[in-house]
Amino acid sequence: MNGFTIALLIIAAVMIVAFIVLYVLGKRAQKKKEEQDAQIAAAAQTVTMLVIDKKRMPLKDAGLPQQILEQTPKLMRRSKMPIVKAKVGPKVMSLIADDQIFNEIPVKKEIKASVSGLYITSVRGLRGPLEKPEGKKRFRDKMRDKYNSLNAELKAEKEASAKTSSKSKKK
């Protein structure tokens, strides 16, 4: 065996070991997440609130209690979190929303939310359903819409020119 094949075998073995380690760590993280979700669901309460404002901001700027800031990992302190400022009863509070529902939360409207501590897990409208926000259009969808509109204009122009040419031939 030459040196090149030995190097390739070593690289392949390292890659296989790395994939196995990532798989095992992923499984552990998934189990831990499921346990945490079960605890959050067990402690959840339904609360009526008026949403004042919502933003993505670092935890230190969100106005959360100091105890919450001390409990969060250092890497998470600097990252931007979905923060909702809402009036719950007579109190104005800063809450952390789930990333999946953050876009569904309407601003300056009353909602019923499932809250576990300071964490909003689900939202529904107090007076009827919530409006689903339109997501950003993908580049491909924009191009398809543009193509369809231009194609329709082109067909209309061809029909108009065909009608005028047939009228001029009749004369």
Q: Give φ, ψ of 147 to 5 degrees.
A: -60, -45
93 and 115 both lie in a single domain: yes
Same domain, 46 and 120: yes
Q: Which two tokens stand for residue 113?
A: 């939310």
89 lies in some domain: yes
CATH code, 81? 2.40.50
Residue 15 pLDDT grade (very low, low, confident, very high; cuts 50, 70, 90): very high
Output the six-digit token pair for 32: 């831990």
Q: State the residue range of the domain holding 11.
A: 1-31
Question: Under a CB-based contact definition with an 8 Å cutoff, are residues 85 and 52 in contact?
Answer: yes
- 168: confidence class by pLDDT, cuts 50, 70, 90: low
Do 46 and 90 share a structural domain? Answer: yes
Query: Is pLDDT above 60 for 115?
Result: yes
Q: How many domains does the chain have?
A: 2
Residues 71, 101: one domain? yes
| Within-domain flag for 152 | no
Written as one letter, the residue type at 6 is I
Are 22 and 48 contained in the same domain? no
Check if the beta carbon of residue 122 is closer than 8 Å to that of residue 114: yes
Exposed, middle or buried, 101 (CB in 10 Å: 0-12/13-18/19+)?
A: middle
Contact between residue 112 and residue 46 where contact means Cβ atoms under 8 Å apart: yes
Do both 50 and 100 map to the same domain? yes
Q: Return the minimum-mean-pLDDT range out of 47-51, 119-123, 162-166.
A: 162-166
The answer to whether residues 44 and 23 belong to one domain is: no
Question: Is residue 71 in some structural domain?
Answer: yes
29-40 mean pLDDT: 93
Asked whether residue 141 is domain-assigned, the answer is no
What totals of helices (H) and strands (E) does the chain contain, helices first? Answer: 4, 5
Q: Are 49 and 121 found together in one domain?
A: yes
In a domain, 12, yes or no: yes
Q: Do 110 and 50 share a domain, yes or no? A: yes
Helix (H) or strand (E) holding 50: strand 45-58
pLDDT greater at residue 129 or residue 147: 147
> What is the model's pLDDT at position 22?
97
Do 62 and 25 sit in the same domain of this protein? no
45 shares its domain with 19:
no
**Does 59 score more than 90 pLDDT?**
no
Same domain? For 53 and 13 the reply is no
Instruction: Please determine, for residue 171, whether its predicted confidence score (pLDDT) is greater than 60.
Output: no
Nearest to 93 by CA among 52, 41, 58: 52
Q: What is this structure's pTM?
A: 0.64
Going through the chain in order, the beta strands assigned E by DSSP cover 45-58, 80-88, 91-97, 110-116, 119-125
Q: 72 vs 42, 58, 80, 121, CA distance in Å?
A: 21, 12, 13, 18
